[in-house]
Amino acid sequence: MRRVAIVGVGHGKFGTRNDVNLAEMAWEAIKEALSDAGVTQKDIDYVVYGHAGGWSSEPMTPIVVNEYAGLYPKGALRVEAACATGTAAIKTGYDAVASGQADIVLVVGVEKMNESPTPTVVEFIGRAGNYFWEFENFGLTFPGYYALYASAYMARTGATEEDLCRVAVKNHYYASMNPKAHFPRKITIEDCLKSRYIAWPLKLYDSSPITDGAAAVVLASEEIARKLTDTPVWIKGVGYATDTANLSRRPDFKLRRASVEAARMAYKRAGIDPEAPHKQIDVAEIHDAFTIAEILTYEELGIAKPDEGYKLVREEQTMIGGVLPVNLSGGLKAKGHPIGATGVSMAVEITRQLRQEVEKGRQAPINNGVGLAHNVGGTGHYTYVVIYSL
């Protein structure tokens, strides 16, 4: 297996993108990534697209975008793993380079969710669990799923709705400095607490938005990477796991087992101490589709002890200056969650953080040169954890 590095990154504006079609939006990120890597379309051996789809008018994303971006006749593949689609695409591109089947791979995450009305988007996402048992019979949507986690967590730990809102306030604070974010503005605890309930105890400001957006990375083998850049960002370890489709077949509403297993695998492959990963990791992007999800992830990754994740956000330990800065991009909550692009966007953010290229006020101190990205599909149905390093 060959070493694989990110040598170029690109990121379009996240939001409601009625100003562009899907291919034009993807090109924003592709063009930036190619330029950053110092390569052109002819240098690309293979293209992997992360695109969940369903709400968008274009079902054959690789073909449409390849044509528009001048990438044809390059081989291309569409990858789907619910909300973990973007990182699944990176894993697919990583495998192609590591195995020697390609030297340079372009990974593109793209989603145009606002082409469908909100009820349709909610239904499509809700189908990511067990459709016939949970969605069709009991009407569970994803806010409902995570409300179950949140209410159970609050009942056993003493965490409050204010603690959930602290996650939203933190992530909006950093998004206010990120020009690519869907919601680049600050909010207060009061703003969050006054927002309407979506599924108790989760409110509108506890929830990530329906977002259009694209992000891209260029992956290269070690030999090529060292020719292209002085600052390659290496993929040191990838962990991945799944869990049952039915929540009723899981033992409890505590830790999501797929996140725990994916983190364990990634840490082992990257040489990270699972008992104290925050001592080696400088910055993390984690999957905060709902505020409770970020708190759960602190515990699943071993950053906090079980049932104590809420204390980290209460004590501002996941802000710059704390034990581990988390979601300095604004996270899914405020940067946005265009499903197929989310995991690729995380890779772009971690790469720029490690290269110390992000905007003033949201740059993490880089002491060890290590970052982590955590991407979940469904309520832990799929999970990917990737360790990146200088």
Distances in Å between the Cα of 242 and the Cα atoms of 3, 211, 256 are: 26, 25, 10
**CA–CA gap between residue 266 and residue 348 (Å, rounded):** 19
**CA–CA gap between residue 46 and residue 340 (Å, rounded):** 18
Residue by residue, DSSP assigns 135-198 as IIHH---HHHHHHHHHHHHHHHH---HHHHHHHHHHHHHHHTT-TT-SS-S---HHHHHHSPEE
Catalytic, 83? Answer: yes
Measured at the CA of 300, the angle between CA 216 and CA 279, to 5 degrees, comes to: 80
Bin 202: left if φ > 0, else alpha if -120 < ψ < 50, else beta. Answer: beta
**Active-site residue, selected from the candidate residues 11, 51, 83, 287:** 83
Do strands 382-389 and 233-242 pair parallel, antiparallel, or not at all (unpaired)? antiparallel
**Active-site residue, selected from the candidate residues 51, 172, 287, 337:** 337
Tokens 């929540």 found at: 247
Torsion of CA 26, 27, 33, 35, to 10 degrees: 180
| Three state DSSP letters for 41-89 | HHHCCEEEEECCCCCCCCCCHHHHHHHHCCCCCCEEEEECECECHHHHH
* CA 204 to chain centroid: 20
Residues with a known catalytic role: 83, 337
